[in-house]
Chains A and B, each alone.
Chain A
């Protein structure tokens, strides 16, 4: 202090001087001469909403788009980034829960292989372009002067619903077309058609929770089913006291089969015959005697236990046993699933299975009518395999001049015999809208980079509506990551504005389109809120919900001609094995193979990761001297693939299986050149009634190549507990679940 005094400047003064000159230097640097004039230029680096505190998470509601069950989700957002998805408790579908596939949505957003700029074809390759360049190419074909109309334009999608579907239809109508083709490689159209014909509803509510006995014919409702998260929440109730019993009948054990109280392996394609064997035994009981017309009852007599046992490969005693349980444990619920429906007699199989529900009197108890959607135009499109065949016919007739593709990858999922790649190439204008380049986009002339599901607006209506009707609202959970990506809705609106400015020019963007539509729907929800409040509360809830309106299934129709014939399939010497590919709950038809979490998530039944494998029964393997890891060639009349053997006890001895989803040739670093694509083995067999592809009716032969490679899996050297009491099992009659808290 003394020293400072001597210098004539004390410490306080020194700091004052430093402060002023420091501020002056800063302001001078900004080009301002006084604090006053610079004030308006002073801005925070980030200007968050009032309720955003750096370091604290905010949760926004949205809707999952990973599968057609469209669960309500919540995104955890911090400092402008979405970090994690949770289930939205407001959603009647997800009930606050979420599956692994849903979680992986954020990896679409942050995928290092995202498409970030439009691509335009230049000769043999796609080159990056600006949006102007890309839209110029599109407008040459589909602009305001375009005379393309009717079948000359195709809009190819997967299952779509909500306002995306409405907009696609409006777009096509503008070209006097209704050529919206919805293709799903793993379509459940066969079962839906049967249920439509029997109950009048393609997706009636199946009340798992209320059933005391479920007999499921290959319905993987816990894994790859129609609404796995919802079904799992109901399954949890089903397992509480008084605990229901699950019986699963299928050629290859699904995740649901792995959770069954009793699992029966069955010869693929004979599910309907087994169901009729049960039906025949069931109507012997006086209580079920009057459930069906006499002529059907008579027809059932052909399905005696011995015949059924011989055809299905199931011990005939099982029929007596199961029928005994069906008599005792009511209400029951009988489910048909993918492996029963994806057969040559798929329709008949599903029909026979639903017949059991009719005989058992489940209609109105465990099978009820879904609530009607007051906005039917938003209901999901019925995506089918047949759509691909129709498209291919249109393409090969060379009528199509413009093809727009979104949310589907037919080049990867088409079976070899369809040959859509060649025909698609001839279309003069092909536009793909994707978040990442895939096999189909690579063939197109223009590829537009879309926003990811966590950046976009949208509305979705799930195929399966268990509790009323839920319209899922999708909203951006964060600002877009890549500046040159656009919303699917905005792309269509841009094109529509050019063609029909009168009706569309007042929408600045897709957001305003959806906002207006949602506000217009206000009367249906009897809301007294202002428009702004209604919109805000809709976004906050993440769902619009129409409560359950009980309606009865009015009429149940049974057509004797639709029952499967009790015939044994002839043996095929060249192709002795049934080929039942499995649908993984995460990779599905391969569209999610680009997400690293899912690649590294072990398959629940085999624990294999990052690859394809051939499941073979250990007994068959022993007979053929096949060890785990042996590289097998699996050959059908359509082609062959090679993959390592995995010895799997949950498969019929005369069946082999390869999971769908791998074998991409161009789908980013995580999916490309990994494993094999079983779609390429599928034989041209279709369901006789609906024309849907019989995905599980192919027969194959297997050969050892002589190679053996270590299979990459999570399980250790043993698949047994070796007395370690890791998973202890209690008999149901011993457990006192009602005493538990």
Chain B
């Protein structure tokens, strides 16, 4: 997809929605499932993301301003509704939500980027081209999940005082001031395994590659894989949970736990969450 092509056919890109069997003949469509009943909110995934993706530690003062760069964060809620009484006892525990870029098929961030810095890749990733980004931050404003992070500072200058910079992952660039960044589904891992597979003349096997968060997760709450491969675990769960990529309203049995967040916005996310379960009789 050249930039010229992108600009020329802007209207059609804007209007694009996923359609039935879009990835049927594709080699890859990366997708994820997060089981909220297994997730304990322990933050192993978020730290793994810092380690893998060269996320800067911004410090207390910048964190206060909302400059934290955690591509993956754990949100914690105490109730589903608008309000709770002041003496509410959280007797069903807390509600934890790992939240990162949902790699939407019709991503609201992509259509507002004035320079096409964020666009969709052939394997279904919402990519961010750092050296094309001019920092308009329109994408972040338009993201309903609030998972895009802007480099307000030149973190490379101070976030890794010597010798902390030796930990940086050489497969991932350190972003500079003025560009937007977000979860990439660990694209560096994907590209590496796709290249290996290509050399061997095959496709990436299920389980051959996974994201840093899924690899760390002590309860294996995160499943990652290739949705275009019907034999992959992630495709099996999507199918079992009766979630179709191209639908914005799922018709599924009521005892199935799969759902996508903000589906009604027609963003067509690539991440399925499985509902948290609580024994209400306990």
**Contacts from A to B (Cβ < 8 Å):** 78-79, 81-87, 96-100, 103-104, 106-107, 109-112, 222-223, 228-229, 232-233, 235-236, 239, 243, 245-248, 253, 255-265, 325, 481, 585-586, 596-602, 604-607, 609-611, 618-619, 622, 649-650, 653, 669, 674, 710, 712, 714-715, 719-737, 739-741
Contact between B43 and A602, CB atoms less than 8 A apart: yes
B280 on interface, CB distance cutoff 8 Å: yes
Contact between A258 and B96, CB atoms less than 8 A apart: yes
**Contacts from B to A (Cβ < 8 Å):** 36-38, 40-44, 46-48, 50-52, 57-60, 63-64, 68, 70, 73-84, 86-97, 161-170, 212, 215-221, 233, 236-237, 240-241, 254-257, 259, 261-262, 273-282
How distant is B253 from chain A, measured CB to nearest CB, in Å?
Answer: 8
Of B87, B241, B276, which one neighbours A727 at CB under 8 angstroms? B276
Number of A-B contacts (CB under 8 A): 299
Provide the bound-state CA to CA distance between A728 and B68, in Å.
26
Provide the bound-state CA to CA distance between A151 and B114, in Å.
75
Provide the bound-state CA to CA distance between A618 and B44, in Å.
29
Task: Return 29 A-B CB contacts under 8 Å, by A number.
Answer: A84-B52, A100-B42, A100-B47, A103-B44, A228-B42, A233-B218, A239-B38, A255-B42, A257-B93, A261-B92, A262-B92, A481-B163, A597-B57, A604-B76, A610-B59, A618-B87, A649-B89, A710-B64, A714-B63, A721-B95, A722-B81, A726-B95, A727-B276, A728-B36, A728-B276, A729-B92, A731-B277, A735-B255, A741-B240
Of B74, B86, B169, B219, which one neighbours A232 at CB under 8 angstroms? B219
Contact between B63 and A325, CB atoms less than 8 A apart: no
Contact between B161 and A261, CB atoms less than 8 A apart: no
Contact between B63 and A600, CB atoms less than 8 A apart: yes
A600-B76 in contact given A236-B38, A259-B41 (Cβ < 8 Å): no
Contact between B76 and A86, CB atoms less than 8 A apart: no
How distant is A61 from chain B, measured CB to nearest CB, in Å?
Answer: 15
Of B51, B273, B278, which one neighbours A597 at CB under 8 angstroms? B51
Contact between B78 and A253, CB atoms less than 8 A apart: no
How distant is A505 from chain B, measured CB to nearest CB, in Å?
Answer: 35
Contact residues in B for A263 (Cβ distance below 8 Å): 89-93
Contact between B64 and A741, CB atoms less than 8 A apart: no
Of A600, A606, A736, which one neighbours B68 at CB under 8 angstroms? A600
Provide the bound-state CA to CA distance between A720 and B80, in Å.
6
Closest chain B residue to A260, Cβ basis: B93
Contact residues in A for B281 (Cβ distance below 8 Å): 325, 732-733
Known: A597-B47, A723-B81. 15 other contacts (CB 8 A): A82-B167, A99-B44, A100-B42, A235-B38, A243-B277, A248-B93, A258-B76, A261-B93, A261-B282, A481-B166, A597-B57, A649-B84, A726-B75, A735-B255, A739-B240
Provide the bound-state CA to CA distance between A732 and B93, in Å.
14
Contact between B81 and A259, CB atoms less than 8 A apart: no
Contact between B76 and A719, CB atoms less than 8 A apart: yes
A259-B59 in contact given A112-B162, A232-B40, A597-B47 (Cβ < 8 Å): no
Provide the bound-state CA to CA distance between A256 and B93, in Å.
9
A110-B164 in contact given A618-B86, A726-B261 (Cβ < 8 Å): yes
Contact between A223 and B42, CB atoms less than 8 A apart: yes
How distant is B165 from chain A, measured CB to nearest CB, in Å?
Answer: 8
Of B64, B82, B97, B236, which one neighbours A726 at CB under 8 angstroms? B97
Provide the bound-state CA to CA distance between A719 and B75, in Å.
9
Contact between A732 and B279, CB atoms less than 8 A apart: yes
